[in-house]
């Protein structure tokens, strides 16, 4: 194969590096070659065989305890995107189901707008986190089912268009600017609800299907956790907007019951991979998130049932629950990202340290 | 084109770092600082966006005969780490832009003109190899010297290695070489030699295997690396249940309340 002169110079440089390394090595000792290598005990110092290695790179510590995995590069935009996207997706679903079941028109309209605003905020958040934002559109070069990041990008784009169309079209119809075009409005509405459901849940798959131990250990839980959290937020935002139907409170109670159960399962289910959920600042963040999303708003919502619906006391209690849920939901997303970071720095799980007492031969493929 | 591979034989490595230097020069990889870590003579720590070959320095206590040393002398184990170019590569599966591709030589290559720096490959590599370069924003890792391989040349690291610790060649041939070498060493009395090539996990084998003395864990080589796509089924199942439950819950709440 013929190569250009410039290429040849660079090739020669590699040879130079090799020679240099060779020279330096031989000035200290001979290069290892098979004739120099012999592991058979050459002396009688049998006692030294039991010498404890002084070095801290060992099968018990890994390579000087250094992280085996890379820390997630995601910045603050990502947990906020998870939060906003989740709430917007759930809101679109509420608008659709509300319309089907004949819920309050004003509530449905607000739910559409919450979805549309969330849909408008999400792409900028996601783009801001990219290392090379100008190339956001490269996300739409291909579609890969096996990549939750790819599925998510397509979902976000579809959701954003559908949610915006649904909100704008129904608003124009209501103001009688446009004649009613049921097909278009309905398609947009249903499209927003369906893609919204994916948007509210895929982020859990995105996080769970990775090499980060605390995330993949909980891959079956995180999508449910994120979805519940998104639904809680959507209901809470509507309540803060002044909607006080008892149907919304029922959804809120359901979501906070699930949140409480998830919080308990995270607290009491211990395994090596979930250590960051129990210890240190990451553990406390998750606990605070759990309390604010589960038991606190649940108690407030149940308490609100003791007063007549829509009474000032009931409304006040539900608004307090709503604020707690929204804060809890935001902290939940952050707590998961935070725990993932801590998890990535701990080589114990990927190295199976301290592993079950198995001989190494069983863990490492060997050729005999 | 035949599928190629690296065999890194740490029993021959002298820790000269010629591979690191050659890789940096050939691929024009930026410097990664000179931090003395006070742990060992290793001043790069791990593979990363600017370290595509990395020589690990493992200090061994005075063990008679280890590496041919006298019994009272410390010995060093060196091993030059590199992207494993997994058969089922987490980074490649995760990449949403299609920037990461499988080359005709079986290597895993990031096209720098396509990568948009989403960072998802970083969390999907079970070996902690690929990393986003902060000043640039895109993800980088070993290219398996795709440019050189296309010209029929060996990767820069293998070319510069003075002890032939880094071998390059056709994958099955190299696997045979590796097995032979392990057998050879065992005959010489090295009873702790391991070939690291996790074919029995979802990663399905790697295109850069290693011969090390002692437990590969010492070199931060994970015993059971899994490609994260194995978690997808559970994840989407959970997402489906969550979505269905949300719709059902909302439906019940709306239809079950007179005040909706
Ligand atoms: S070792 Fe990591 S970066 Fe290399 S091919 Fe495998 S998953 Fe990709």
Dump pLDDT digits (tens) for A291-300.
Answer: 999 999 999 9
B94 burial via Cβ count (<10 Å: 0-12, 13-18, 19+)? buried
Do A77 and A152 form a contact (C-beta atoms < 8 A)? no
Q: Check if B89 has its Cβ closer than 6 Å to any atom of ligand 1.
A: yes
- Does residue B120 sit at the A interface (CB-CB below 8 Å)? yes
Cβ(B18) – ligand 1 distance below 6 Å: no
B58 close to ligand 1 (CB < 6 Angstrom):
no
Cα A47 to chain center, whole Å? Answer: 53
Specify the pLDDT at position A175.
86
Count of domains observed in chain B: 2
How many whole angstroms separate alpha carbon B227 and alpha carbon B86? 9
In this structure, the answer to whether residues B180 and B258 fall within a common structural domain is no
Please determine, for residue B197, whether its predicted confidence score (pLDDT) is greater than 60: yes
- Cα separation, B84 vs B126, in Å, equals 10
Residue B35 confidence (pLDDT) above 70: no
The predicted model scores a pTM of 0.89
Same-domain check for residues B136 and B256: no
Domain shared by B180 and B214, yes or no: yes
Give the atom of ligand 1 at the shortest distance from the alpha carbon of B85: 5
Mean pLDDT for A295-315 is 95
Q: Do B81 and B199 share a structural domain?
A: yes
B127 lines ligand 1 (CB under 6 A): yes
Tell if the CB–CB gap between B224 and A340 is shorter than 8 Å.
no
Residue B169 shares a structural domain with residue B252: no
**Which residue of B42, B96, B98, B234 to mutate against A (max A Cβ within 10 Å)?**
B96
Interface of B with A in 43-82 (CB under 8 A): 45-46, 48, 56-68, 70-72, 74
Is the CA virtual torsion A29, A35, A37, A39 positive or negative?
negative
pLDDT of residue B31: 85
Q: Are residues B192 and B253 in the same domain?
A: no
Q: Whose CA is nearest to atom 4 of ligand 1?
A: B83
Clarify whether residues B162 and B260 are in a common domain.
no
Asked if A316 has any chain B CB less than 8 Å from its own CB, the reply is no
Residue B144 CA, ligand 1 centroid: distance in Å? 11
Percent of chain A with pLDDT over 90: 71
**Domains, in order of start, for chain A:** 77-344 (1.20.1630.10)
Q: Does ligand 1 lie within 6 Å of residue B49's CB atom?
A: no
Of the CA atoms within 13 Å of residue A328, those in its CB half-sphere come to 33
Ligand 1 center to A348 CA (angstroms): 20
Decide: helix, strand or coil at residue A121: helix
Residue A43 sits at φ, ψ, to 5 deg, of -145, 180
* Rounded average pLDDT over B115-120: 96
Report the CATH number at residue B193.
Answer: 3.30.70.20
Find the helix packing angle between A5-28 and B18-27, rounded to 10°: 160
Enclosing domain of residue B235: 229-260
Could you tell me if B87 and B207 are in contact, meaning their C-beta atoms sit under 8 angstroms apart? yes
Same domain, B60 and B145: yes
For residue B32, pLDDT over 80 is answered with: no
CB atoms within 10 A of CB A287: 17
Q: For residue A34, what pLDDT is reported?
A: 46
Average pLDDT, integer, range A47-74: 69
Least confident span in A13-22, A232-241, A324-333: A13-22
Whether residue B190 sits in one domain with residue B67:
yes
| Judgement on whether residues B171 and B235 belong to the same structural domain of the protein | no
Q: Is the pLDDT of residue A245 over 50?
A: yes
The CA angle B156-B162-B166, to the nearest 5 degrees, is: 55
How far apart CA A179 and CA A177 sit, in angstroms, is: 7
Chain A, window 163-182: residues with a beta carbon less than 8 angstroms from a chain B beta carbon: none
In chain A, what residues touch B35 (CB-CB under 8 Å)?
Answer: none
Q: Which residues of B touch A156 (CB under 8 A)?
A: none
Looking at the fold, whether B28 and B122 belong to one and the same domain comes out as yes
Cβ contact (<8 Å) for A146 and B93?
A: yes
Q: How far apart are CA A360 and CA A362, in angstroms?
A: 5
Task: Verify that B184 and B259 share a domain, yes or no.
Answer: no
Question: Rounded to an integer, what distance in angstroms lies between the CA atom of residue B175 and that of residue B68?
Answer: 26
pLDDT mean over B157-166: 95
User: Among B235, B23, B219, which Cα is nearest to A149's?
Assistant: B235
């Amino acid at each position: 194969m013929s190569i250009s002169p410039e290429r040849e110079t660079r090739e020669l440089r590699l040879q130079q590096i090799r020679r240099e390394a060779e020279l330096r090595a031989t000035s200290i000792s001979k290069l290892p070659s098979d004739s120099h290598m012999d592991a058979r005990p050459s002396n009688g110092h049998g006692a030294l065989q039991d010498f404890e290695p002084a070095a801290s790179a060992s099968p018990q510590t890994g390579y000087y305890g250094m992280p085996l995995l890379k820390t997630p590069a995601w910045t603050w935009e990502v947990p906020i995107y998870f939060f906003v996207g989740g709430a917007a997706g759930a809101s679109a679903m509420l608008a659709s189901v509300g319309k089907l079941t004949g819920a309050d028109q004003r509530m449905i309209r607000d739910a559409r707008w919450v979805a549309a605003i969330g849909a408008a905020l999400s792409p900028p958040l996601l783009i801001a986190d990219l290392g090379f934002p100008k190339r956001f559109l490269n996300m739409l070069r291909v579609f890969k089912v096996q990549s939750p990041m790819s599925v998510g990008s397509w979902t976000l784009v579809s959701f954003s268009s559908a949610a915006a169309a649904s909100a704008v079209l129904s608003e124009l119809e209501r103001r009688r600017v446009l004649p009613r075009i049921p097909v278009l409005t309905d398609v947009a509405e249903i499209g927003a609800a369906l893609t919204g459901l994916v948007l509210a849940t895929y982020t859990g798959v995105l996080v769970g299907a990775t090499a980060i131990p605390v995330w993949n250990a909980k891959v079956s839980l995180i999508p449910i956790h994120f979805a519940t959290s998104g639904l809680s937020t959507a209901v809470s935002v509507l309540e803060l907007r002044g909607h006080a139907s008892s149907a919304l409170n029922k959804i809120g109670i359901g979501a906070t019951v699930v949140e409480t159960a998830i919080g308990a399962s995270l607290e009491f289910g211990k395994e090596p991979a979930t250590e960051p959920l129990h210890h240190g600042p990451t553990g406390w963040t998750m606990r605070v998130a759990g309390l604010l999303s589960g038991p606190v708003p649940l108690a407030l919502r149940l308490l609100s049932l003791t007063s007549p619906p829509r009474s000032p006391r009931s409304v006040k209690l539900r608004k307090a629950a709503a604020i707690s849920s929204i804060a809890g939901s935001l902290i939940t997303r952050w707590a998961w990202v935070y725990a993932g970071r801590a998890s990535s720095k701990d080589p114990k799980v990927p190295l199976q340290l301290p592993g079950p007492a198995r001989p190494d031969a069983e863990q490492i493929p060997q050729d005999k | 084109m035949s599928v190629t591979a690296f065999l890194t034989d740490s029993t021959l490595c002298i820790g000269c770092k010629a591979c690191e230097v050659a890789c940096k020069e050939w691929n024009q990889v930026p410097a990664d600082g000179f931090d003395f870590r006070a742990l060992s003579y290793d001043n790069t720590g791990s593979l990363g966006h600017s370290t595509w070959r990395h020589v690990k320095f493992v200090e061994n206590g005075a063990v008679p005969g280890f590496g041919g040393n006298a019994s009272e002398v410390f010995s060093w184990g060196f091993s030059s780490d590199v992207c494993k170019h997994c058969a089922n590569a987490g980074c490649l599966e995760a990449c949403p832009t299609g920037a990461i591709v499988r080359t005709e030589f079986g290597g895993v290559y990031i096209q720098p003109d396509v990568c948009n720096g989403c960072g998802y490959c970083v969390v999907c590599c079970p070996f902690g190899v690929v990393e986003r370069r902060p000043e640039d924003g895109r993800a980088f890792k070993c290219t398996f010297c795709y440019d050189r391989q296309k010209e029929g040349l060996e990767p820069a690291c293998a070319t510069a290695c003075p002890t032939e610790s880094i071998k390059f060649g056709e994958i099955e041939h190299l696997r045979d070489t590796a097995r032979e070498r392990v057998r050879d060493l065992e005959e010489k009395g090295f009873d702790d030699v391991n070939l690291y090539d996790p074919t029995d996990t979802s990663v399905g084998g790697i295109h850069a295997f290693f011969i090390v003395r002692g437990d590969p864990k010492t070199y931060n080589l994970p015993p059971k690396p899994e490609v994260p796509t194995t978690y997808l089924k559970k994840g989407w199942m959970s997402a489906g249940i969550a979505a269905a439950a949300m719709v059902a819950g909302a439906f019940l709440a709306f239809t079950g309340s007179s005040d909706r």
